[in-house]
Amino acid sequence: AQSVSQHNHHVILSEAASLELGCNYSYGGTVNLFWYVQYPGQHLQLLLKYFSGDPLVKGIKGFEAEFIKSKFSFNLRKPSVQWSDTAEYFCAVTGGSSASKIIFGSGTRLSIRP
Amino acid sequence: GEEVAQTPKHLVRGEGQKAKLYCAPIKGHSYVFWYQQVLKNEFKFLISFQNENVFDETGMPKERFSAKCLPNSPCSLEIQATKLEDSAVYFCASSPTRTPRDEQFFGPGTRLTVL
Q: How confident is the model at residue A96 (pLDDT cuts 50, 70, 90)?
A: low
Q: Residue A42: its pLDDT value, please?
A: 85
A112 part of a folded domain: no
Which one-letter amino acid corresponds to residue B7? T
A47 part of a folded domain: yes
Q: Residue A66: its pLDDT value, please?
A: 97
A54 part of a folded domain: yes
A113 part of a folded domain: no
Residue ranges of the domains in chain B? 5-114
Most A CBs within 10 Å, among B29, B43, B50, B92, to test the A interface: B43
Interchain CB distance below 8 Å, B101 and A94: yes
What mean pLDDT is predicted for residues A27-45? Answer: 88
Q: Residue B81: its pLDDT value, please?
A: 94
Q: Which structural domain, as residue segments, surrounds residue A14?
A: 3-103
Lowest-pLDDT range of A78-87, B84-93, B95-104: B95-104
A114 part of a folded domain: no
Lowest-pLDDT range of A9-23, B24-38, B98-112: B98-112
Of A42, A90, A101, the CB nearest to B33: A101
Sequence-ordered list of residues with C-beta below 8 angstroms from that of B52, at least 6 positions apart, any chain = B68, B69, B70, B71
Q: Residue B76: its pLDDT value, please?
A: 98
Sequence-ordered list of residues with C-beta below 8 angstroms from that of A65, at least 6 positions apart, any chain = A23, A33, A35, A48, A50, A56, A57, A59, A74, A75, A76, A77
| pLDDT tens readout for residues B16-58 | 999 999 999 999 999 999 999 987 677 899 999 999 999 899 9
Interchain CB distance below 8 Å, A99 and B102: no
Q: How far is CA B10 from the centre of its chain?
A: 14
CATH H superfamily, domain B5-114: Immunoglobulins (2.60.40.10)
What CATH code is carried by the domain that includes residue A63? 2.60.40.10
Q: How many domains does chain A have?
A: 1
Q: Which residues of A touch B59 (CB under 8 A)?
A: 101
Cis, bond preceding B8 (omega within 30 deg of 0) = yes
Q: Which residues of B touch A35 (CB under 8 A)?
A: none
Q: Taking a C-beta distance cutoff of 8 angstroms, is the pair B106, B93 a contact?
A: yes
- Mean pLDDT, chain A, whole residue set: 91
Of B48, B91, B103, the CB nearest to A49: B103
Q: How confident is the model at residue B1 (pLDDT cuts 50, 70, 90)?
A: low
Distance from CA of A35 to the nearest CA of B (A): 11
